[in-house]
Amino acid sequence: MEEDPFDFESDILLATSPVVAPKRRKKVIGLDDLLADHHEEKNKAVERERKLARGKSRSIIDHDEDEEDGRVAKLSKYVNECHEKMTQLSDEDDVFNWGLLVFGEQKAFPSYAFSNVHCCSLFHSIMSHEVNTLVELSSESGEIFFEGLLADGWLLTSVCKCGEVDESIAKWTFHLMLYSSKEVLRRAAVDFWCAILLLKNEDGSKSLRIDWLPGYPELKGALERYGFLFDEPTQGSSDIEMDVEDSESMGPPHNIRAWIKYVAACSQARDMHVIFSPSDSTELIAVIICLLLDRQLIGITIDLSECLLALVNFFTDEEWRSYCTVAARSVALRVPKDINSLRAVECIPAVCGRTKLLRSTVAFQVLLSYFDEAEDEVELMRQLSLFNLKDKDCDLFKIYIFMVLTENWFLYNSVPKHKPLLNEMWGLYLRNCSCQINITDTRSYASKVRSRASYLLQGTSDRLL
């Protein structure tokens, strides 16, 4: 059937027919979904709060770090200032080093040739002995032969069998001991002399006759050739710049050790051989103490101490009571008024009654040399108590020296201990040193003076009670 274009009825049907929309499926929201959404929102809120708190804390930390940096900078500044002050104090204390230059320029050593070997009785004994057919000894080879005997120790055996030391052998070995540049001969010669001086029989008498004995004049002459400064004022090693390597003629020679050992042997052999007088020994005591102050001789300190002990024991008891003061005055005249005066006292070993008395007497005589107006012990202690330690111009280094010298004077001598007035004045001086110096005092030697005085004051107070 052909459709009629003017059939309006069909159009009406189309217009009045409802348009049916496509159906949509509805989403069902469950409890799990709601819970997930709740947690998500909560996490977002927590994250926002965290970011806000992080921003605030960062600003606080930056502020705190700035303040901390400022405090560290200030603290570092104070520490550096304190370190500089302590370094300055330490440097000031370290300036005062003991040490003297007791040797100047050496003189030429005398030469000695064993030319008169043919006059030696031991030489003739060997020449006439059948052993000479093996060695074929002659006057020309005699010195070399005797050097071999000396180095091997056979010379001592030979003279012991003969019972006599010929003058020519004595002079020759003495010269080798003090002036030889060969260490083997120098050491053998001093061993030879120490042995022949100390050899004795069972009854204490000497077992050898020595035709020639060198004494103090020969030893003093050797010291002069070594460059020892007898008459010139002894100077501190810090006051003179001296490089020993620049000049072979400066400083002590190697022979000084043999010289020291020979002095000790002579002192020990007084009962058998009269070599030194008491006045010679007092002079030698001052010389040995001066040698103990030379830092170039630190390596032979033991030999020097043993020699000093031998010289002290050289005297009889009666002689020592008078000559001890003489020796102490000689030391006080030679030692400069500085830290070396303490060293001169402390290098004396307090191992017996005599050395203790010498140490005390030297301390008193050195202390007395600081005060020209002091004539006795009481006046000396009064001068010490007059120091005003609060005064900034007060030399605490010298106060420390005075304290140590007085301590040694009192400690090793029973006489001042039993004088109440001296003990009271000593206690007053220690109280001044302990109380007049503040703990914050930054002057050089302030802490040393205060600490040592406090320590010594305890023992003094107990004795006074």
Would you place residue 1 in the very low, low, confident or very high pLDDT band (cuts 50, 70, 90)?
A: very low
Q: What's the mean pLDDT in 257-268?
A: 96
Q: Is the per-residue pLDDT at 160 higher than 80?
A: yes
Higher-scoring residue by pLDDT: 94, 416: 416
The answer to whether 452 and 411 are in contact (CB under 8 A) is: no
Q: What's the mean pLDDT in 443-448?
A: 89
Q: Which of 44-53, 84-93, 129-138, 386-395 has the highest mean pLDDT?
A: 386-395
Predicted confidence at residue 246, as pLDDT, reads 46
Q: Is the pTM of this model over 0.95?
A: no
Predicted confidence at residue 239, as pLDDT, reads 47
The answer to whether 308 and 317 are in contact (CB under 8 A) is: no
Q: What's the mean pLDDT in 324-345?
A: 94
User: Among 77-86, 116-125, 155-164, 440-449, which stretch is predicted with the lowest mean pLDDT?
Assistant: 116-125
Predicted confidence at residue 56, as pLDDT, reads 60
Percent pLDDT > 90 in the chain is: 40
For the chain, the C-alpha Rg in angstroms (whole number) is 48
The DSSP result for 404-461, as a single string, is HHHHHHHHT-HHHHT-HHHHHHHHHHHHHHHHSS-TT--STTHHHHHHHHHHHHHHHH
Q: Is the per-residue pLDDT at 338 higher than 80?
A: yes
Q: What's the mean pLDDT in 390-400?
A: 90
Q: Which of 441, 394, 412 is nearest to 353 (CA)?
A: 412
Higher-scoring residue by pLDDT: 40, 217: 217
Would you place residue 47 in the very low, low, confident or very high pLDDT band (cuts 50, 70, 90)?
A: confident
Q: Which of 300, 327, 290 is nearest to 312 (CA)?
A: 327
Mean pLDDT for all residues in the chain: 80
Predicted confidence at residue 69, as pLDDT, reads 64
Q: What is the pLDDT of residues 296-312, one digit of tens each?
A: 999 999 999 999 999 99
Please state, in angstroms and rounded to a whole number, the distance separating the CA atoms of residues 452 and 403.
Answer: 9
Would you place residue 230 in the very low, low, confident or very high pLDDT band (cuts 50, 70, 90)?
A: confident
Q: What's the mean pLDDT in 124-142?
A: 53
Higher-scoring residue by pLDDT: 418, 217: 217
Q: What is the pLDDT of residues 339-355, one digit of tens each?
A: 999 999 999 999 999 99
Would you place residue 5 in the very low, low, confident or very high pLDDT band (cuts 50, 70, 90)?
A: very low
Count each helix (H run) and each strand (E run) in the chain, helices first: 20, 4
Q: Is the per-residue pLDDT at 6 higher than 60?
A: no
Predicted confidence at residue 124, as pLDDT, reads 60
Percent pLDDT > 70 in the chain is: 74
Predicted confidence at residue 32, as pLDDT, reads 65
Q: Is the per-residue pLDDT at 139 higher than 60?
A: no
Hey, what are 246's tokens? 């620049």
Higher-scoring residue by pLDDT: 101, 70: 101
Q: Is the per-residue pLDDT at 127 higher than 70?
A: no
Predicted confidence at residue 232, as pLDDT, reads 57
Close Cβ partners of 109 (under 8 Å, ≥ 6 residues apart):
179, 225
Higher-scoring residue by pLDDT: 24, 38: 38
